[in-house]
Amino acid sequence: MEVSDINEVNKQQINHAGTRYTPQIDPEAPNIQVSEVLQPFDTLAYSNRLGERLASLADELEEEWNRAPEEAKDAFRRRKQSPQRVVELLKSISSRSPSDDKTELRQLTRATRFVKGKTSEVRQKLRSQHREVDEKKQRSINNKISLNQNLSQALESVSTFVEGPELPLLRNKALFLKGEWGTGKTHFFCDLTEIRMAHTKIRHQKTRHEVKPVLPSSCPV
C-alpha cells in the first residue's frame, strides 16, 4: 500500500464525519487551534513543531548558560550533569525518530532535575552573599542574581516539558482524548489529520525515504 492510498482513506473518513455540530457556524470553518491541545499530539506524532519547540528550548537555555555568572559555572565545573548537557540532550531528541532508543529521554529528566537543584543552590548562595556585603558590592551581586534567575527561568521552561504530560508520550506512544458529545473531538482529529498530511514529513523506518505521515483519525466509519 502506498502513502497516497492511506491519505485517500483518511480523506474518506474526514468526509464521513459530516458537518460540524453548531449550525450557525460556517461548516467549512476549521476548529480553533488551541496550542495546549495540539502540543501533545505534536509530541505523539514526532512532528516538525515538536522538533522546533525542543530546539527553541535548547537555544534559550544555551544562551542563558553562556551568560550565567561565574558562581553558576563553578557549580557545574567537572560535572557530567550540567546546563550544557541538557542542551545537548534537547538537540538530540529534537531530531530523533519514534524507533530510537529511549535512554536519552530518561537522561533528560535526570539532568534537568539535577541542574534545577544546583541552580537553586547558587541562587541561595548569591542571596547570602548579598546580605553580607556593603551597598557597592551588592549592585554587582544583584546583576549575578539576575543572570542566574534568567538561567533558572530557561530551565523552568525545559522542566515544564520534562515533568508535563508530553515526555511520557515519546516513550509510550499512546494518548486518549475524551469529552462530552458535540465538543469537537471528531473534527479536531479531522483537522489534525489534514495538517499532518499537508505539512509534516517523516522518515520511513525501513527505507529511510521521506514520506508524508498519516495520523489515524478518529472519524466514524
Distance CA 6, CA 216 (A): 9
Give me the half-sphere count of Cα atoms (radius 13 Å) on the Cβ side of residue 18: 8
Residue 143, Cα to own-chain centre: how many angstroms?
30
Can you give the pLDDT at residue 28?
60
What would the pLDDT profile of 90-148 be if each residue is shown by its tens digit?
A: 999 888 765 666 889 899 999 999 999 999 999 999 999 999 988 888 999 999 999 99
Q: What region, left, alpha or beta, does residue 182 occupy, with left being phi > 0 and alpha being psi -120 to 50 degrees? A: left
Task: Residue 96: name the closest of 87, 83, 84, 105 by CA.
Answer: 105
Is 18 a residue whose pLDDT tops 50? yes
What would the pLDDT profile of 163-176 be if each residue is shown by its tens digit?
A: 988 888 887 777 77
Distance CA 115, CA 86 (A): 8
Distance CA 90, CA 61 (A): 10
Q: Which residue has the higher pLDDT, 153 or 45?
A: 153
Q: What is the pTM of this model?
A: 0.70
Distance CA 111, CA 113 (A): 6
Q: If you count them, how many residues does the chain have?
A: 221
In Å, what is the CA distance from 45 to each residue of 42, 104, 214? 5, 18, 9
- Going by their DSSP bridges, the two strands 210-211 and 202-203 should be labelled as antiparallel
